[in-house]
Copies of this chain bind each other. A is one copy, B any other.
């Protein structure tokens, strides 16, 4: 993609929408001078907000979408009744090639259902996955699935591994990403059939990256591998557990610094260094989960994010387009089609998911 990149934004998704979305786009505008924005939402609400930002207005358009997908609505209902919603119309604009990609901070389940319906699942992939990156001791890694599929078979996991590997290469810029399948720790407890079978298949595939084998929960933060592959149930729990633990330790730390006058003074001296810590762990820097495996780029922002975090999610959408992620995934799957081992995986499971 050369020239400008157009990003469709669901202006009504997220706890602090639509203001948060417009402010976020304004931050992203400064970072990505070649970006243009389409804001989807009720025109009468968006018009006065956008009018306050002249530079953003200059690279933006408002597209009227009267309805809003609420946080409580069921995906199936949203799919049937939400055709005029800001979320759906933002997706439609990508499908109609008016925009290159789109971002929403709205209801995850409804968003995934709509994205699947509008973009369709990529050929060769049984199920899309939610993929995000996160900080490790070594830098950054990606993990998938983070909640799109609560039950996965070996074939799903193998496909996640291949998609995650392409994501790590193209978006994080890691030349030969290492891949690990999340499993339970103990020597003797060998995990379920799905991870065992996925391990067997991935060991036999000729991937651009390197298959490391099984990893355990503590390997996530260590950064033992660049791509952590797991089912959506475990991945969602692991990601949220890591976020919660990070907040717990930071909370303890704050309490510690308030325990004595000396400690408070120590905090003042160490503050610049501690601010780097805060920056490093700032969840806003890791906002923006990709729906991988669809014929279109949809990025999910945290619902509770602020403009800074939303700008990061917009950045993920832009990087994905600039790096040609979809084409790369398609090429990788085509390249693997010659490798019979991929076809041999779990025919029963494949039929059940087909």
Binding site for B on A (CB under 8 A): 71-72, 74-75, 107-110, 112-113, 135-137, 147-148, 150-151, 182, 184-192, 216-222, 230, 232-234, 236-253, 256-257, 259-260, 262-263, 265-274, 276-277, 280-281
Contacts and interface: CB of A to CB of B under 8 A. Distances in A.
A136 B248 CA distance: 7
Given A187-B109, A188-B108, A244 B221 contact: yes
Given A110-B188, A221-B241, A242-B242, 9 more contacts: A109-B189, A150-B184, A184-B236, A217-B238, A217-B239, A238-B238, A241-B241, A253-B277, A260-B272
Contacts of A272: 259-260, 262-263
B250 A189 contact: no
A184 to B, nearest CB: 4
B221 A184 contact: no
Contact of A241 (B108, B220, B268): B220
Given A110-B188, A272-B263, A221 B247 contact: yes
17 contacts: A108-B188, A150-B190, A182-B237, A184-B233, A216-B240, A217-B236, A217-B240, A221-B247, A237-B237, A238-B238, A245-B246, A259-B272, A260-B272, A263-B270, A263-B272, A263-B274, A266-B273
Given A233-B234, A247-B218, A259-B273, A185 B240 contact: yes
A243 B269 contact: no
A245 B245 CA distance: 6
A244 B222 CA distance: 7
State the oligomeric state as a number of copies. 2
A191 B280 contact: no
A72, A238, A245 pick with most chain B CB within 10 angstroms: A245
A277 B304 CA distance: 29
A182 to B, nearest CB: 6
A252 B273 contact: no
B189 A137 contact: no
A178 to B, nearest CB: 17
B252 A277 contact: yes
A233 B192 contact: yes
Q: Which of A189, A217, A230, A241 has the most B CB atoms < 10 Å from its CB? A: A241
A257 B242 CA distance: 23
Nearest to A190: B150
A276 B253 CA distance: 9
Q: Enumerate the 8 nearest inter-chain pairs by beta-carbon distance, A residue then B residue, closest first.
A: A109-B188, A217-B240, A266-B270, A266-B269, A218-B244, A221-B244, A217-B241, A263-B273
